[in-house]
Amino acid sequence: MSAVFSAPPEQWNAPPALAFRAFSEADVLKVAAIEADVYVFPWSAGNFRDSLFSGYRCIGAWVDKELVSYAVVMTALDEAHLLNLAVAKDWQQRGVGALMLTHIIEELKAIPLEMIYLEVRPSNLAGRRLYERFGFKQLGMRPDYYPALAGREDALFLGLNIVPGLNIAPTKNT
Ligand SMILES: CC(C)(COP(=O)(O)OP(=O)(O)OC[C@H]1O[C@@H](n2cnc3c(N)ncnc32)[C@H](O)[C@@H]1OP(=O)(O)O)[C@@H](O)C(=O)NCCC(=O)NCCS
């Protein structure tokens, strides 16, 4: 069974229908505009171009013609590293992040890969909650990993086992 997000709790509004495809050089300025809107320390357009050039998986999600979410994933051997995942501000809190993460996990399981790793700021409660709902576990801490408004911020280092056959469905904590 695969990761699914088809049956959210009844009190939620229906999440939008997303079309997923790789994003390309032609999308970079739109990606970078969302990035600048949602992060205090955003990647530059050049960082996204470098990701494309490096062959990282650059995934976008669209509602009609509007880019609403994107992710950058580096893969090596049987592992993946989720380097970036964001949802445009107007589309947050509607299940898009969970749908995007479900799609990413499906893509990576199909390769097949066995583990996904990522870093997240301890202060990023939305990100931490999203990853927690998918079963990511803290594997370590990277001291002074991120720039911060005052000095540096540590990173939580998280991992999720995605061995094919495992059912990875987000859970809703109360
Ligand atoms: C972290 C991030 C990707 C989450 O994206 P999102 O689309 O808002 O996430 P979701 O909507 O799937 O879930 C977030 C919350 O919305 C709620 N929600 C989900 N679907 C919903 C729906 N259809 N209707 C109403 N609420 C919903 C969930 O309850 C969840 O809240 P919770 O904390 O109670 O679990 C987004 O906040 C973001 O882009 N942040 C900036 C970039 C960032 O920090 N990225 C992560 C870096 S590690």
Q: Is residue 146 flagged as an active site residue?
A: no
pTM of the full structure: 0.89
pLDDT tens, position by position, 113-142: 999 999 999 999 999 999 999 999 999 999
At residue 14 the predicted structure's pLDDT band, cuts being 50, 70 and 90, is: confident
Name every protein residue with a CB atom under 6 angstroms from any ligand 1 atom.
Answer: 8, 12-13, 15, 38-39, 85-87, 92-98, 120, 124, 126-127, 129-130, 133
Residue 86 pLDDT: 98
Q: Which of 108, 25, 99 is nearest to 63 (CA)?
A: 99
pLDDT grade for 166, boundaries at 50, 70 and 90? low
Cα distances from 4 to residues 11, 21, 29, 46, 115, in angstroms, run 18, 18, 31, 33, 18
